[in-house]
Structure 1
Amino acid sequence: MWKATVRLRLRLVLVVALAVLEGGRCEGEECWKRRIHIRKLPAMFNLDLLVNCSEYPMLEDLCPYMGNHGLGQKTHNRSHSWYRTDPWMLELIFHRRMLEYPCLTQDPSEADAIYLPYYAGLDALRYLYGPLANSSAQHGLHLFHFLQHDNPQIFQRRMSHDHFLVMARPAWDFSQPLSNDPPIWGTSFLELPHFFNVTALTLESRAWPWQDHAVPYPTSFHPPNLPLLDSWLTRARRSNRPVLALFAGGGGVSSSPNIRRSIRNECDNASSSSDSSYHTLCQIVDCSNGICEHDPIRFMRPMLQATFCLQPPGNTPTRRSTFDAILAGCIPVFFEDLSAKLQYPWHLPQPDFEDFSVFIPKEEVVFRGLRILDVLQRIPRAKVRTMRERVLDLIPAVLYRKHSASPGLRAKKDAFDLAIDGVLAKIRSRLHDLDMPATVV
């Protein structure tokens, strides 16, 4: 009974928020070529997917992570910025932020872009784990049929090149070929010809950038005002870092050669540091079985004490831990380019990637015996300080601030703002390349 009450309360809160905020509008030069229309979709595409938050197959109760419009529950009662955020709630977080976007228009004919508030990742769960696993090619068809029959001119006017949505999973989870029978893993949403022209913001993109574009995983830090952000930046900047390298994660216990196994072996066998500035050469925070996922204290405190944070790929190349590390001012160490360099060009500066990160090819470590700690110890101390300052500079750009944030904090562009800038620029570029009008009135 209490779960039903929680679900009903959550739905009522969201409905009120949608009714109050949706349809806001800004006039003037600041909205030139930045107007966005939020497409009104039936509740089956978003709010109704939240109602059964405790009943998704193969998953724990998701209801606690839907609180605070997707930020989750606070880590403790007195916290103003820290939440138990689940990265799969990005669709809900993004929708709530879109409702306060200053350049909304109720008239789709005036819009430069159309946002589809479809919770694709949540809807995908029934195809990934539920009774519809053998019908995964159907994922997205109900949305397409709605767009084709409800004011179809909106979806068709620019051949849907001006539409975008958020999909809170790696793009590979939506990329199963339609020809796979029986299905292997994932749905075929991004393989449907109907959505080839729609931009999908995913947590991890594929190698080709036409449809999907990666945006940062949500961390647990969502400050509501500038003083709280500045306070955290000061803490990260002043933090003593007696640990050379840290790995927060699981895996690496199999007998087959892989980068995580190499990291664990090297850390376990690391000798004491001859450099007086480091008390520990390598530290592991064991996050096996998801024990760290909603408990940021487990890994944020160790990250604040580490100089370098190791970011090996796992099931997919990218990791939420990359953004946790940046948030802590811990210099990320990557082992393949797909982990970040080829993923987040809107949020991480591509030409100067080596200014804030270290790259060590995983093949050199796993098969040729290159020692990670030796590489890191050879980096000059002055270079390390410069890299950490660059990491600290990136923090505002990779966090998702709390909705209804103070004006001072809204003046700093966060991950959401940069994603919107990127989407609008991508749509303008695509329409220009196709010689289609950027504005239809």
Structure 2
Amino acid sequence: MNRKKGMGMLKGSGWALLLMLMMMLSVGKMTASSEEEECENRWIHIRKLPSRFNLDLLANCSEYLMLDDLCPYLGNHGLGQKTHNRSRSWYRTDPSMLELVFHRRMLEYPCLTQDPMRAKAIYLPYYAGLDALRYLYGSESNFSALHGLHLFHFLQQDNPQIWARHMAHDHFLVMARPAWDFSQPLTNDPPFWGTSFLELPQFFNLTALTLEARAWPWQEHAVPYPTSFHPLNLGLLESWITRVRRSKRSILALFAGGGGGGGGGSSSPNIRRSIRSECENATSDPSYEKLCEIVDCSNGVCEHDPVRFMRPMLQASFCLQPPGDTPTRRSTFDSILAGCIPVFFEDLSAKSQYGWHLPENEFEDFSVSIPKEEVVFKGLRILNVLQRIPRSKVRSLRKRVLALIPNVLYRKHDSSPGLKAKKDAFDLAIDGTLDKIRSRVQELHSVI
């Protein structure tokens, strides 16, 4: 698809008009309702940004270097195309569309206000991950320290009092990439991988919702990778959970991913290589049809095809979540969705990342932790560890995993009232962001 076709898709779907109308309707509905008291400490203002910061970036969907054509994944407001024509909940969702998905959901947030001075938080609908692509892969890779400066200059020139009111502590945005991709030190010359957005002093005070956060910056917080499951009503969600609960678990452990193979890559020890070796040499167990299974997702073959890995996950008791290029994995949330108990090999994979969605103090209630060093360097057998877990404990772990399913999915926009009453990944992210901003603003004013 060329750029003209991409632009035609956007114009044909009435994107700009729809976004504007949705904002007006949402604000008008709430300000006129009797529920206004419930929004007293939850008002959010969506900052109006020129289209070059969001919608125009979608017009280039087929032109980003080093990437496949992103245009097919713009459908359904970023959820992507349905996996098949009769599907009511499953889509070919690309994680890079989280900024678009989040923006669309913000437009139906019940506590929107057109008055920024009344708002407790200011949302910047800036598609930072998409805008970063020209610095990551394009001709501007040598100018990555400039990423975000054009946004800052606009915020300084257009109603600067909004940005200055709390020194930007009340602002937040979504970045659909790991924070590491925006964390190149400004002193790097020549530049390495990444942009310097999160290293710019101008943005030190805003809250960044990323797919993976670093351990130390207070302004970053990780939110779940979007899965392919986006139900429209409560019945569809409950039907899926029932299917997950009743699914026969005939496989002890499953690994869906790439890496760790013997060809072409490094032969140095690593956790993925250990998993593949152990799985390929697994013996039998009378309690399971298979002790271990690998779903090869090399070269991105699973990324937009959830059937490829969800069916095996539904049959597995445990899903192995080894770190790869970065500690976190979308597969973590796919496995929870399938009722497959996640097995982590380092805390950075989830425990120290997703506290709003996967409570850190409850990790042992829904997951298993096995230190990767014990496996790679000391010969600890993963399957032996999992086989020793009592069946009663396995049932308890899975029960808690099932309870977490609503926490990690992004429901479809315009969903039914019944489903809206059950908080999803978006709702929990907003709650956490408001709490975070409230704390920072109070601290700021106590110091002043």
TM over 0.5: yes
Q: Deviations over 1:218-257 (max 9, x none)?
A: 0000000000000000000000000000000000024110
Residue 126 in structure 1 maps to residue 134 in structure 2: yes
Map 1:336-347 → 2, pairs under 5 A = 336-347=346-357
Work out which of the residue numbers 254, 269, 275 in structure 2 matches 1:263: 275
Shift of 1:30: 1.3
Shift of 1:102: 0.4
> In the aligned structure 1, how far is the partner of 2:345 from the partner of 2:15?
41
TM-score, with normalisation over the residues of structure 2?
A: 0.96
Q: Which residue of 1 aligns with 2:191?
A: 183
Secondary structure at the counterpart of residue 361 of structure 2 = coil
> In the aligned structure 1, how far is the partner of 2:37 from the partner of 2:45?
17
Residue 241 in structure 1 maps to residue 253 in structure 2: no
Work out which of the residue numbers 107, 113, 117 in structure 2 matches 1:99: 107
Residue 291 in structure 1 maps to residue 292 in structure 2: no
Which shifted more, 361-370 or 27-36? Answer: 27-36
Q: Which residue of 1 aligns with 2:155?
A: 147
> In the aligned structure 1, how far is the partner of 2:61 from the partner of 2:290?
43
Secondary structure at the counterpart of residue 368 of structure 1 = coil
Work out which of the residue numbers 400, 403, 410 in structure 1 matches 2:410: 400
Q: Deviations over 1:30-83 (max 9, x none)?
A: 101100000000000000000010000111100001111000000000001000
What runs of 5+ residues in structure 1 fail to find an aligned partner? none
Shift of 1:196: 0.2
> Does the 8 A contact of 1:7 with 1:53 survive in 2?
no
Q: Which residue of 2 aligns with 1:16?
A: 17
> In the aligned structure 2, how far is the partner of 1:173 from the partner of 1:127?
10
Secondary structure at the counterpart of residue 125 of structure 1 = helix
Residue 197 in structure 1 maps to residue 198 in structure 2: no
Residue 316 in structure 1 maps to residue 316 in structure 2: no
Shift of 1:14: 1.5
Q: Which residue of 2 aligns with 1:374?
A: 384
> In the aligned structure 2, how far is the partner of 1:285 from the partner of 1:209?
35
Q: Deviations over 1:380-401 (max 9, x none)?
A: 0000000000000000010000
Q: Which residue of 1 aligns with 2:7?
A: 7
> In the aligned structure 2, how far is the partner of 1:3 from the partner of 1:342?
40
Shift of 1:211: 1.4
Q: Which residue of 2 aligns with 1:89?
A: 97
What runs of 5+ residues in structure 2 fail to find an aligned partner? none
Q: Which residue of 1 aligns with 2:215?
A: 207
> In the aligned structure 1, how far is the partner of 2:444 from the partner of 2:159?
24
> In the aligned structure 1, how far is the partner of 2:89 from the partner of 2:444?
44
Residue 162 in structure 1 maps to residue 170 in structure 2: yes
> In the aligned structure 2, how far is the partner of 1:283 from the partner of 1:140?
44
> Does the 8 A contact of 1:10 with 1:67 survive in 2?
no
> Does the 8 A contact of 2:173 with 2:209 survive in 1?
yes
> Does the 8 A contact of 1:7 with 1:63 survive in 2?
no
TM-score, with normalisation over the residues of structure 1?
A: 0.97
Q: Deviations over 1:405-433 (max 9, x none)?
A: 00000000000000000000000111112
Which shifted more, 412-421 or 200-209? Answer: 200-209
Q: Which residue of 2 aligns with 1:31?
A: 39
Aligned amino acid, residue 261 of structure 1: R
Q: Which residue of 2 aligns with 1:272?
A: 284
> Does the 8 A contact of 2:3 with 2:59 survive in 1?
no
Work out which of the residue numbers 235, 238, 241 in structure 2 matches 1:227: 235
Secondary structure at the counterpart of residue 172 of structure 2 = strand
Q: Which residue of 2 aligns with 1:108?
A: 116
